[in-house]
Amino acid sequence: MSRGFRNSDATQELSEQATSDTINEILEADREQATHAADVRAHGGYGVCEGCGGSIGEERLEAISNATRCVRCQADWEQANRF
Ligand SMILES: [Zn+2]
């Protein structure tokens, strides 16, 4: 089944607008998360999941230095906080 985004210039424009809105929301969320992560770090919570209190894991922290949740809790959080 086609999503129909390429049918006309109008839908193309709409889909580009939606994309840039989404990017802005993601950038905004990233900024908030970076601020939040710095705050957590300042209080000695770096590397500890704020969802379950477990270890986030070195590999994940290397990949995403602003991570404040383990993979499982992040997935749960994203489910609950869809844009
Ligand atoms: Zn967790």
All structural domains of the chain with their residue ranges: 9-80
The Å distance, Cα 19 to ligand 1 centre, comes to 30
The Å distance, Cα 74 to ligand 1 centre, comes to 7
On the 0-12 / 13-18 / 19+ scale of CB atoms within 10 A, 33 is middle
pLDDT of residue 5: 54
The Å distance, Cα 39 to ligand 1 centre, comes to 18
Question: For the residues 54-61, what does the mean pLDDT come to?
Answer: 95
Could you tell me the CA-to-CA distances from 73 to 5, 28, 31, 81 in Å, in that order? 33, 21, 20, 12
Q: Mind listing the pLDDT tens digit for each residue in 8-39?
A: 788 778 888 889 999 999 899 899 999 999 99
CATH of the structural domain 9-80, one choice from 3.90.1150.10, 1.20.200.10, 1.20.120.910, 3.40.50.1820 = 1.20.120.910
| CB-CB contact of 61 with 45 (8 Å) | no
3-state DSSP percent of the chain in helix, strand and coil, to 5: 60, 0, 35
**81/10 Cα distance (integer angstroms):** 30
The Å distance, Cα 7 to ligand 1 centre, comes to 43
Contacts with 47 (C-beta within 8 Å, 6 or more apart), sequence order: 55, 56, 58, 61
The Å distance, Cα 8 to ligand 1 centre, comes to 44
The Å distance, Cα 2 to ligand 1 centre, comes to 37
Q: Mind listing the pLDDT tens digit for each residue in 66-83?
A: 999 999 999 999 999 876
